[in-house]
Amino acid sequence: MDYTDHRKVTGFSGNEIYCLKQLGYKPGPLCIGNNVMSLGVVRGIGAGLSTLAGGEITEITQLIYKGRKNAYERMLAESRHHDGTAVAGITFDLINHGANMEFLTFGSTVWKDPTQSGADPAFTAYSDAQQLYCQIDSGFTPHNFVFGNIAYSIGVGGGIKGFLRGLKRGEVPQFTEIFDKTRHLALHRIKAEAKQAGANAVVGIKTTITPVLGTQEMLMMGTAATHPALSAYANDPVTSSLTNEEMWNLVHIGYLPISLVMGVSVYALGFTSGLLAAGKTIAGGEVSTLTELLYEAREKAFARAEKAADDCGADEIVGVKTYVYDMGGGLVEILAIGTAVKKFDGVTTRHDTLPAQAIIQNKEIFVQATQATDVRGGRASKASARRAQRGPLAVIGTIILIIFYVWLGIHNGGRPPDH
């Protein structure tokens, strides 16, 4: 591929360039890799049948993974063209072009400062330059940008069972099991990539959930790294959803991340509770049935996250955040996610303080309001969840339409039907 020479164009901000300078690096050009792919008719039918069954939609998971990986490799090739020492601030994007999807990978090249002595090993990182400074000052050596993904659906079978169970108030085990399993599969895959890279940790993990092709894709991205105090975790890398700035503060007082932990609970309002809630809504005042229901759902999610922390020998769970997804039909999912940490003797940061440039948040200078979303589980996540539930119905309609046209073709002697 022919590359355009744009060495003066970088994705690093002024704060990031300052942090790079402190680490002995210089900013290099912004690099982009892309890959346009189509699901295909045959693979689409296979994915449709999997969608009906529920759980992971392997065909779509593999398609998205391949699309992202190809774009990533092309971005790396462009960076090598610019003689980069490393690539930082790597991230993904996905754009629909009719029946095709374009996968994009962005990252900025990092050059070794010629005034600094020694040669640093090459690396790639999800972390931007500010996060890298915090990460390296915490004792972590970056290795590779890593990601894990899974495309999943509740499925028609699970939907029927869930509906019948949803007539009663309380947890819907079928949905809880599906969501818990799929979320942990994404975590397992990002850990596997880290282990393959020779790392004993994945730090700064960001999790996103996006509707894709009638399913939902859960994507985890992070930086595979090594810390000398975590050598015992070489075969089972630790994971952290803490920002690198938050992690620096914990490392400074002797704590290291052990595991990203999640607790999932899917609850149904219930037919009887729904009628009581509707009556209370008309009269005004507290809807006690919903108050108790949602409190119970959150408590179960917290309890499951805490059990996961206990299982890995952690002291605390920090940075816990909860997300509520309205799945429609009186169903809600509660997701609690945080990082289990443990105290280690002799662990601290290289410096006593962080420079202001490492923690100042860069301000957005361009906002497209029509595409703004509420990342805390508001309107966008509700619509996302509901679109995912409509996926199986769309697939059923498509399959029925295909069967209808095949039947018409057979009865017309192989000729297309008249219009």
pLDDT band at 407 (very low <50, low <70, confident <90, very high): low
Helix 156-166, helix 41-53: angle, nearest 10:
30
What pLDDT does 406 receive? Answer: 56
6 C-beta neighbours (distance < 10 Å), count: 12
Q: Does the pLDDT of residue 277 top 60, yes or no? A: no
Please state, rounded to an integer, the average pLDDT across all residues of the chain.
81
| Percentages of the chain per state (helix, strand, coil), in multiples of 5 | 45, 30, 25
SS3 (DSSP) at 24: coil
Comparing CA positions, the residue from 202, 205, 183 lying closest to residue 192 is 202
- DSSP assignment of 94-113: EEEETTEEEEEEEEEEEEE-
| pTM for this model (two decimals) | 0.81
pLDDT in tens, 348-376: 999 999 999 999 988 877 776 654 433 33
Amino acid at 293: L
Comparing CA positions, the residue from 142, 339, 321 lying closest to residue 258 is 339
What pLDDT does 45 receive? Answer: 46
pLDDT in tens, 322-349: 998 877 767 888 999 999 999 999 999 9
The neighbouring-strand residues paired with 217 are 151, 210
Helix 379-411, helix 156-166: angle, nearest 10:
130
**Is the distance from CB of 362 to CB of 13 less than 8 angstroms?**
yes
Rounded Cα distance between 82 and 271, Å, is 62
Q: Residue 11 class from Cβ within 10 Å (0-12 exposed, 13-18 middle, 19+ buried)?
A: buried
Mean pLDDT on 215-233: 95
pLDDT band at 166 (very low <50, low <70, confident <90, very high): very low
Give the residue with greater pLDDT, 4 vs 219.
Answer: 219
Give the residue with greater pLDDT, 33 vs 272.
Answer: 33
What pLDDT does 405 receive? Answer: 54
Give the residue with greater pLDDT, 201 vs 329.
Answer: 201
What pLDDT does 373 receive? Answer: 39
What pLDDT does 117 receive? Answer: 58
What pLDDT does 48 receive? Answer: 55
**Sequence-ordered list of residues with C-beta below 8 angstroms from that of 3, at least 6 positions apart, any chain:** 78, 81, 82
Q: Is the dihedral of CA 29, 76, 218, 48 positive or negative?
A: positive
**Is the distance from CB of 129 to CB of 24 less than 8 angstroms?**
no
Give the residue with greater pLDDT, 4 vs 105.
Answer: 105
pLDDT band at 205 (very low <50, low <70, confident <90, very high): very high
Rounded Cα distance between 182 and 209, Å, is 12
Mean pLDDT on 120-145: 93
Give the residue with greater pLDDT, 162 vs 98.
Answer: 98
Burial 266-279 (b: 16+ CB within 10 A, else e): bbbbbeebbebbee
Amino acid at 129: A
Lowest mean pLDDT across 65-74, 305-314, 320-329, 380-389: 380-389
Pairing of strands 201-212, 238-239: parallel
Q: Does the pLDDT of residue 93 top 70, yes or no? A: yes
138 C-beta neighbours (distance < 10 Å), count: 24
pLDDT band at 120 (very low <50, low <70, confident <90, very high): low
Q: Does the pLDDT of residue 164 top 90, yes or no? A: no
